[in-house]
Amino acid sequence: MALETNLSSLAALEYIPYIDDRGQLPEQFQGKIGVYAIFDQEKVLQFVGYSRDVYLSLKQHLVRQPQQCYWVKVQTIERPSRTILENTENAWIAENGSVPWGNGDQKEKWTHPIDIKVVMTPEEQASYQNPANDELAQIKILKNVARRVEAEISTQLLEVRGLQMQIRFNPKLKEEGLLDLK
């Protein structure tokens, strides 16, 4: 099997707006396998990852870290090869000169569902931890907190950033205190 050798350095790739002027994510990456680098508003590298569907991964990251996702650089490959993807990811991180915060201690915030328990208000925490609550009452509180956080994310993305696509969260995960796209 021939290895793909036409992979670009991070610096050689163009910045692509995370959300275009129509309020959409870069649709050309739907169903595409590749490595991607996410940058903040000042084009400072925040996270490098790879995926079997770059578009879906970009959507997940936008919901999890909306304030960090303003620009993206992507290198697609035709055939899945974890080795090529990992090597490219590592090369881009090395090229950056330091590990982006999203690939270090904060990686879970980029790669795992949002844990709404860590963003509960003191009032929500007190209500959740009330010894009089049974499991159903706690689930109801988690769902309400999840709805609040979901509304905050939607407001950030829809109103502030101009996103024009529908964001749907998995309703079953809300009962567990997690938010992730469906």
What are the structural domain ranges in the chain?
Answer: 10-110, 114-179
Tell me, what amino acid is at 120? M
| pLDDT tens, position by position, 67-83 | 999 999 999 999 889 99
Biggest alpha carbon distance in the chain? Answer: 64
Q: Please give the distance of CA 48 from its chain centroid, rounded to a whole number.
A: 11
pLDDT at 83: 94
pLDDT at 6: 65
Tell me, what amino acid is at 45? L
pLDDT at 87 over 80: yes
How many Å apart are CA 53 and CA 60, to the nearest integer?
Answer: 11
Q: What percent of the chain has pLDDT over 90?
A: 85
Q: Which residues contact 55 (CB under 8 A, 6 or more apart)?
A: 25, 26, 27, 29, 30, 31, 32
How many Å apart are CA 103 and CA 93, to the nearest integer?
Answer: 9
Backbone angles phi, psi at 161, to 5 degrees: -95, -10
List the one residue out of 141, 161, 165 whose CA is nearest residue 65.
161
How many Å apart are CA 173 and CA 169, to the nearest integer?
Answer: 8
Q: Domain 10-110 adopts which CATH fold? A: GIY-YIG endonuclease (3.40.1440)
The 8 Å CB, 24+ separation contacts for 106-112 are 109/64, 109/65, 110/47, 110/49, 110/61, 110/64, 110/65, 111/49
Q: List Cα–Cα distances, 117 to 107, 147, 148, in angstroms.
A: 18, 12, 12
How many Å apart are CA 69 and CA 24, to the nearest integer?
Answer: 13
Q: List Cα–Cα distances, 131 to 126, 142, 165, in angstroms.
A: 10, 15, 41
Q: How confident is the model at residue 7 (pLDDT cuts 50, 70, 90)?
A: confident
| pLDDT tens, position by position, 126-163 | 999 999 999 999 999 999 999 999 999 988 887 788 99
pLDDT at 1 over 90: no
Total Cβ atoms within 10 A of residue 104: 11
